[in-house]
A and B are shown apart, each in its own frame.
Chain A
Amino acid sequence: MNDQEKKQLLVTAWKVRKGIVESTHAAKSGHPGGSLSAADVFTYLYFRELNIDPKNPKWEDRDRFVLSKGHTAPGLYAALAHRGFFPVEDLKTLRRIDSYLQGHPNMNSVPGVDMSTGSLGQGVSCAAGMALAARKKGMGCNVYTLLGDGEIEEGEVWEALMFASHYKLDNLCVIIDNNGLQIDGPIDEVMSSYPIVDKLVAFGFETVAIDGNNFDQLESAFEKFHRTEGKPFAIVMKTVKGLGVSFMENNVDWHGKGPNDSEYEIAMKELNAKLAELEAM
């Protein structure tokens, strides 16, 4: 990607971050931390990687994305909205009683959501089933799924990875957001899922470890996915939970709550300043 394209991705990623903060502030709940850590991969997927059509969200041959860490729906919704699947202003209806933007993704209510998720561990199984089905049907599409580093404590994740490897699902790309924190604390204190890369390699995945908040590294990882044949692919990305909002960064308290009015003001000031800086580049 050239500098202009990278700049555009950065600008979009910061707009996505604003959407996360705005929606969780409006909802007075939700999960900003893990949405912000994954804002860059959401942006990369929806603006550069996925073969999709916002005007035809159910297009049969589209690539699929399953948000296995479904609680970070605010990040997914912000990316979908900015990509044109639904109006950006609707993000502020997140979790409201009359909103289609459910607390966790619902494939039957949100345009662009390919699978309902929220119960950790299930999305990756669904994604494996989609990848297998795509192959059985002779479809050329790829299936992507994003998991949390806490989520992979669920046993079902490893059942799904075993399945993907056994059936050599090289149309499946498993992305793990290693932001290092889960609800109760750092993952290496609560229940260590480390070493993540070694485990994935042992399960038969072609695996790369990258900085998930770096677009050059995201690009090379996805390029390698496209070159990989005969085995499923995994991207283990180190990220900063809460990235973009200083008081949320690497702070476990921001896993699952919305900012109050004064916190919202500070967060938006920071995000707007960064956005202005990026746009001026």
Chain B
Amino acid sequence: MADVKKIATRDGYGNALKELVAQHDNVIVFDADLAGSTKTGVVRKAFPDRHVNCGIAEGNMMAVAAGAASMGFVAFASSFAMFAAGRAFEQVRNSIGYTGLNVKIGASHGGISVGEDGASHQCCEDIALMRTIPGMVVMNPADEVEARAAVKAAYEHDGPVYMRFCRLATPVFHDPETFSFRIGKGEVLRDGTDVAILSTGLMTVEAIEAGKVLAEAGISARVINLCTIKPLDEELVLKAARECGKVITCEEHSIIGGLGEAVCALLSEKCPTPVRRIGVNDTFGHSGPAVALLKEFGLSWEHIVEVAKDFCRKA
């Protein structure tokens, strides 16, 4: 995919926010001294009155955003995933989740692709944390086009939303002209019958590549992109499990509590199916170039191919 344009999903967040602010008087954006990195700085530059810096105080920012939402704003609150979902978890749970207020959390720097900053900033637990909050929508867009669509869908959605974006520029595979997006709807990117590969976030590009390589090896893989992890597209996942009989989940997140476990919970109750989870295996990351880290942690098409081949051989 060398000729494909690469843009980080966090850029999609900033650009979509800027459009939303231009279009709607009721949008307000909060950040916690990371506007340059979360890309809300795009809004700050264009519409300084609609961007509020809260300083390095994420817990306060989340509850401030809840207060603003209670006054009729659709409040977007941004930080790194580590601090938005991690440090501010309890504020998100009580002031945003329990109230059901219209706060949209834009969390950049999800996963180990943060790279050189190392484990303290590489959040692989955010999806797990956010999934446990009743009513919280959890989305993890796969490319910049999907990120922009997710931000706009979040604005239209009534209630709390958590959106996870990445720092690393990744290939844009969706066509913005034809792409349509709905919260809670998965997307079949490749049809297949031997194994279903369910992926989210930047792993979807890897899953697409794995699907091609597996086809050359005679394995028919169905590749499904699941931007919305909660609510999960149960119908699509169950159909894939029934028709393929084997499921692989791929996420740049801990194998505990993320897409993999969400899929396992669904399948174990409604359609018991063998599953292999690809993700961060209950370990911390470390410093290094993002692409090298992704390879090291098995978050690559090569690893998906390896797992799929092994899975299909044994089945």
Bitwise, A69-84 to B at CB < 8 A (1) or not (0) is 0000000000000000
* A136:B59 contact, CB within 8 angstroms: no
List 5 A-B residue pairs with CB atoms under 8 Å apart, sorted by A's residue number: A119-B94, A122-B95, A127-B67, A129-B69, A133-B68
Most A Cβ at <10 Å: residue of B54, B60, B69, B99: B60
Bitwise, B50-78 to A at CB < 8 A (1) or not (0) is 00101101011011111111111101000
Task: Give me 12 other A-B pairs in contact (C-beta within 8 A), A108-B100, A163-B55, A166-B55 excluded.
Answer: A116-B95, A122-B63, A128-B67, A129-B64, A133-B68, A136-B68, A136-B73, A139-B71, A156-B60, A156-B91, A159-B55, A162-B57
* A107:B67 contact, CB within 8 angstroms: no
A131 smallest CB distance to B (angstroms): 8
Q: Is the interface of B mostly helix, strand, loop or mixed?
A: helix
Bitwise, A120-131 to B at CB < 8 A (1) or not (0) is 011101111111
Interface size on B, residues (CB 8 A): 28
Q: At the interface, yes or no: B166 with Cβ under 8 Å from chain A?
A: no
Q: At the interface, yes or no: A137 with Cβ under 8 Å from chain B?
A: yes
* A129:B98 contact, CB within 8 angstroms: no
Q: How far is the CA of A66 from the CA of B65 in the complex (A)?
A: 15
Q: At the interface, yes or no: A132 with Cβ under 8 Å from chain B?
A: yes
Residues of A within 8 A of B60 (CB): 125, 128, 156, 159-160, 163
Q: How far is the CA of A108 from the CA of B100 in the complex (A)?
A: 9
Most B Cβ at <10 Å: residue of A106, A134, A160: A160
* B28:A125 contact, CB within 8 angstroms: no
Residues of B within 8 A of A162 (CB): 55, 57
* A128:B94 contact, CB within 8 angstroms: no
In-complex Cβ contact of A116 among B57, B73, B94 (8 A): B94
Q: How far is the CA of A118 from the CA of B99 in the complex (A)?
A: 12
On whether A122 and B94 interact (CB within 8 A), knowing A136-B49, A163-B60, A163-B64, the answer reads yes
* B28:A133 contact, CB within 8 angstroms: yes
* B63:A132 contact, CB within 8 angstroms: no
Q: At the interface, yes or no: A60 with Cβ under 8 Å from chain B?
A: yes
Q: At the interface, yes or no: B90 with Cβ under 8 Å from chain A?
A: yes
Residues of A within 8 A of B99 (CB): 107-108, 115-116
A191 smallest CB distance to B (angstroms): 19
On whether A126 and B55 interact (CB within 8 A), knowing A116-B94, A137-B71, the answer reads no
* B67:A130 contact, CB within 8 angstroms: yes
On whether A125 and B91 interact (CB within 8 A), knowing A136-B28, A160-B63, the answer reads yes
Which residue on chain A has the smallest CB distance to residue B73?
A: A133
B208 smallest CB distance to A (angstroms): 41
A167 smallest CB distance to B (angstroms): 8
B219 smallest CB distance to A (angstroms): 50
Residues of B within 8 A of A118 (CB): 94
B258 smallest CB distance to A (angstroms): 26
Q: At the interface, yes or no: A22 with Cβ under 8 Å from chain B?
A: no
Q: At the interface, yes or no: A114 with Cβ under 8 Å from chain B?
A: yes
In-complex Cβ contact of A133 among B57, B71, B94 (8 A): B71
Residues of B within 8 A of A137 (CB): 71-73
B1 smallest CB distance to A (angstroms): 43
Q: How far is the CA of A122 from the CA of B60 in the complex (A)?
A: 7
In-complex Cβ contact of B95 among A108, A126, A132, A139 (8 A): A126
* B49:A125 contact, CB within 8 angstroms: no
